[in-house]
Structure 1
Amino acid sequence: MRVKNHPILAIGAMTAAAALALTGCSAGGSSDSGDSGKSGSTTLTVWVDADRASVMKDAAAAFTKESGVKVKLVQKDFGKIQDEFVQQVPTGKGPDITIAAHDWLGNFVTNGVVQPIELGDTAGDFQEIAINAMSYEGQTYGLPYSIENIALLRNTDLAPKAPTSYDEMVQMGKDAGTEFPFLVQVGEQSDPYHLYPFQTSFGAPVFGTNDDGSYNPEDLQIGNEGGVKFANWLAEQGKAGLLKTTIDGDIAKEKFVSGASPFLITGPWNVQAAQDAGINLAVDPIPSAGGQDAQPFVGVQGFVISAKSKNVLAATEFLTNYIGTKDVQVDLYNVGKRAPALTAAFEEVSSNPITAAFGKVGANGVPMPSIPEMGAVWQYWGVTEADIINGKGDPTALWQKMADDIKAAIEG
């Protein structure tokens, strides 16, 4: 991760004027005379998932004590938040703030359901890749709190050293005598996210980039020569039984935790289960299959403000002066083990060698595209990979058809 040395975002107490401004905000649908005894006092409604709820509860309580602004936390299934937010915000029934993944931004912005957040100089307190990911068309739309990516999880008792190439990894796995030389979740419709580092190692990104590093939807690269080579490699791995659509995320995790393979390509979310099983772990770069760098997608999570919120000042203060502080971001890390987006918080937790190693791999990664055109890619990408792995046609023809279908869908 691109860590820069910036001073920590100061928490500080809000001034009396700021507190008065906050409590005087018009809350619209979120106005609540509730238990505060203040008729019409401001209430922020915040959508959050189960994993982050406990930390958010403490941050909300501190914010309310300082500002007088109440915070109503509504727990949501993370996988359903994007669709529900897009559906509810235009009706005025959505929250003031929601937790979000950065790759939802294209959908959010084009549907007009989010508004930019003013971070000012404090933007420099966050890791550069996090701010870049939470930005769209030159504007920042979210307060980032975590960064995550996949890497190679290694059982050091079965594989004492890190592999330097895909072929070496497979050979080391075979030499270990385990059921699987290596594991990666694929599933019935494949898993392009987990297989993407192998794809990039053949020089086949999804999109090309503009001079500023943003993705260019008019420069579709997935069907290039490297992509065709990757497709044929997928077919070879499927035929050899090294990639299987019968191996989903749960099975891959279970098999690795039980010692059935020295290697698992996964994210930090599976570290605890392996440690609980007594496995001695190391985290390594994903080895290249095509000769170029194997670059994983980097995902950033954060909080965005509804375009319909009537409590923008309060929402911004809550995010920047509470969620954007070191203590809260460290607490969020402790419940999810995803590297903090705030530089000072990341530096505090990077004494953990697992976190530091994931961060090092992420530094070589690329942000998951957040542009709306990515929807067309997901529509065809995984099912095509699955067909290739399962030998359901000529890999070159299947991959080229996929690229043509994606292009047609983008051009509409």
Structure 2
Amino acid sequence: MKKWFLSFVGIIFIVGLLTACGPDDADENASSNDTNNEGTTENEGTTNDEASEESSMPEKPEKLTIWINAEEKQEEAVGQIAEKYTEETGIEIEAIPINMLDQVEKLGVEGPAGNGPDVIFQPHDRIGDLVLKGLIDPVDLGDKTSEYAESAVNAVTNDGDVWGYPAVTETYALFYNSSLVDGTPETMEEIMTIAEEQTNAANDEYGFLMEAANFYFTYPFFSGNGAYVFANENGNYDISDIGLNNEGAVEGGKLIQSWFDKGYMPQDLTPDIMNGLFKEGKVATVINGPWMVREYSEALGDDLKAAPLPLLDNGENPKSFVGVKAYLLSYYSENKEWAQDFMSFVTNSENAMLYYDVAGEMPARVDSIDNPAIADDPIYSAFAEQATYGEPMPGVPAMQQVWDPINNALSFISKGEPVEEVLNEAVQIIKDNIEASGATE
């Protein structure tokens, strides 16, 4: 299993990728933290090996304000790390939970008014938009740059400047209930057979569920058939060339529509309903991210298994989005040096593993891959393997004009509207929105 994690690191270093828009669990256990953190450097940061650096820092503020993602386990993890930081520095951390996707707009209002945070938490694909709007400042990773996965650093880099401290890398994969499935599903043909045999909508029983109207999760079924968001040559995106209505995109859209036509997938499925049914043992397979591992494990125990996304009918591996989530420095912060000190502290070896232990999200650090807590885990190895087939979510401002039109298109597709017509309209809206936004990349 460890070899897949080593492959994952290879992808991180070689492909120049990484993504997370994604969407957004683990019991707090101090003794397990001690075990899982073998080989990490204890208390990296201000108060230990950087005492001389601290002496050149500005006067300590009484408080730093951090906007974190509004998710229970993530809040718990950051809360524990914040307490440690306060103990070591005397600086209070006010961690305010705000949905990641709401933070950008809110920062644009609260920042100029003097009520904003020092630090926000965002997926890397939103960095270009934040830079364009002048809402964040670049950071200096300094000699800590090599501690983070190279492509995680690349993901938070824009126009030669680094704009955040990488915290999390993620993609999604297939979860399945081994009490309902014989063996590991390896192809979509097998998944469709499971759906045919085990779907009984009247009893809320399904063979296969996913957020099929969410482009973040459905992208593999487009890309695996030859679709793409923007043409990409060596990391340079051509935002005038959109491949979401080409022949492969239409084929992917028809595949997704067939799940609804056959009754395998219920209309207007919400994440809460899907997760609840899977945890109740009423769903054989689901597509979701590693942020659900702990919650699923608590419900299903040893019956919970994971695997890379099944092969498409054309024999191709579905290309999932891979992403990075990072701590970003607000342009409006009056405590930029200490804000960066906290960003370094929250993403150091020890605290990255604490975050993993509690929130169940994979660190964006090089050293974490060798930590037994991750390297020997059979569930997380599936995500590591899937990442080798994934591709980076475009981290350009124009990407923000893609989500709503294509998600709306998926909703129409799920309701039986003509796929090609719907995708053509969505792409035109995307182009119009990009032009109206003034985005040039």
What is the CA-CA distance between 1:226 and the residue it aligns to?
0.9
Residue pair 2:307, 2:382 contacting (<8 A) in 1 also: yes
Residue by residue over 1:88-107, the C-alpha shift from the partner in whole angstroms, topping out at 9 and shown as x without a partner, is 22333312212222222122
Residue pair 1:9, 1:122 contacting (<8 A) in 2 also: no
2:368 aligned with 1:342 = no
Partners of 1:114 and 1:296 lie apart in 2 by 28
Distance verdict in 2 for CA 1:249–1:58, change over 3 Å: closer
2:346 aligned with 1:323 = yes
Q: Percent identity, aligned pairs only?
A: 26
What is the CA-CA distance between 1:222 and the residue it aligns to?
1.3
Partners of 1:266 and 1:97 lie apart in 2 by 28
Partners of 1:310 and 1:17 lie apart in 2 by 22
Distance verdict in 2 for CA 1:58–1:181, change over 3 Å: closer
Structure 1 residue matching 2:283: 3-state secondary structure: coil
What is the CA-CA distance between 1:65 and the residue it aligns to?
4.8
Partner of residue 383, structure 1: 408
Residue pair 2:67, 2:98 contacting (<8 A) in 1 also: no
What code does the residue aligned with 2:396 have?
A: I
Partner of residue 105, structure 1: 127
TM, length-normalised to structure 2: 0.80
Partners of 2:171 and 2:98 lie apart in 1 by 21
Partners of 2:162 and 2:111 lie apart in 1 by 19
Stretches of 4+ moved more than 6 A in 1? Answer: 5-10
2:27 aligned with 1:3 = no
Which of the residues 289, 294, 319 maps onto 2:318? 294
User: Map of 1:365-404 to 2, 5 A cutoff?
Assistant: 365-392=390-417, 394-404=418-428
What is the CA-CA distance between 1:62 and the residue it aligns to?
4.0
Residue pair 1:115, 1:307 contacting (<8 A) in 2 also: yes
Residue by residue over 1:224-268, the C-alpha shift from the partner in whole angstroms, topping out at 9 and shown as x without a partner, is 221122223233332122333232212211222222232111112
Give the length in aligned residue pairs. 390
What code does the residue aligned with 2:406 have?
A: W
What is the CA-CA distance between 1:67 and the residue it aligns to?
4.5
Partner of residue 150, structure 1: 172
Q: Which moved more, 1:214-223 or 1:379-388?
A: 214-223
Structure 1 residue matching 2:169: 3-state secondary structure: strand
What is the CA-CA distance between 1:16 and the residue it aligns to?
4.1
Partners of 1:14 and 1:67 lie apart in 2 by 13
Residue pair 2:209, 2:274 contacting (<8 A) in 1 also: yes
What is the CA-CA distance between 1:330 and the residue it aligns to?
0.6
Distance verdict in 2 for CA 1:124–1:397, change over 3 Å: same
Which of the residues 11, 24, 27 maps onto 2:59? 24
Distance verdict in 2 for CA 1:110–1:387, change over 3 Å: same
Residue by residue over 1:291-314, the C-alpha shift from the partner in whole angstroms, topping out at 9 and shown as x without a partner, is 232111223222111112232222
What is the CA-CA distance between 1:182 and the residue it aligns to?
0.9
Partners of 1:366 and 1:205 lie apart in 2 by 10
Partner of residue 64, structure 2: 44
Structure 2 residue matching 1:91: 3-state secondary structure: coil
Which of the residues 168, 177, 182 maps onto 2:208? 182
Partners of 2:421 and 2:300 lie apart in 1 by 45
Which one scores higher on RCO, CA 8 angstroms, separation ≥ 6? 2
Partner of residue 263, structure 2: 241
Q: Which moved more, 1:233-242 or 1:219-228?
A: 233-242
Q: What stretches of structure 2 of length at least 5 have no aligned partner? A: 1-6, 14-38, 437-441
Residue by residue over 1:54-108, the C-alpha shift from the partner in whole angstroms, topping out at 9 and shown as x without a partner, is 443443444445445x133132222432221222223333122122222221221
Distance verdict in 2 for CA 1:261–1:93, change over 3 Å: closer
Higher Rg: 1
TM, length-normalised to structure 1: 0.85
2:303 aligned with 1:283 = no
What is the CA-CA distance between 1:382 and the residue it aligns to?
1.2
What is the CA-CA distance between 1:9 and the residue it aligns to?
7.2
Partners of 2:41 and 2:246 lie apart in 1 by 44
Residue pair 1:129, 1:367 contacting (<8 A) in 2 also: no
What code does the residue aligned with 1:308 have?
A: Y
Partners of 2:54 and 2:149 lie apart in 1 by 29
Partners of 1:21 and 1:65 lie apart in 2 by 20
Distance verdict in 2 for CA 1:118–1:236, change over 3 Å: same
Q: What stretches of structure 1 of length at least 5 have no aligned partner? A: 26-30, 33-42
Partner of residue 439, structure 2: none
Residue pair 1:159, 1:176 contacting (<8 A) in 2 also: no
Partner of residue 314, structure 1: 338
Partners of 1:45 and 1:22 lie apart in 2 by 18
User: Map of 1:109-188 to 2, 5 A cutoff?
Assistant: 109-175=131-197, 179-186=205-212
Partners of 1:160 and 1:244 lie apart in 2 by 24
Distance verdict in 2 for CA 1:65–1:74, change over 3 Å: closer
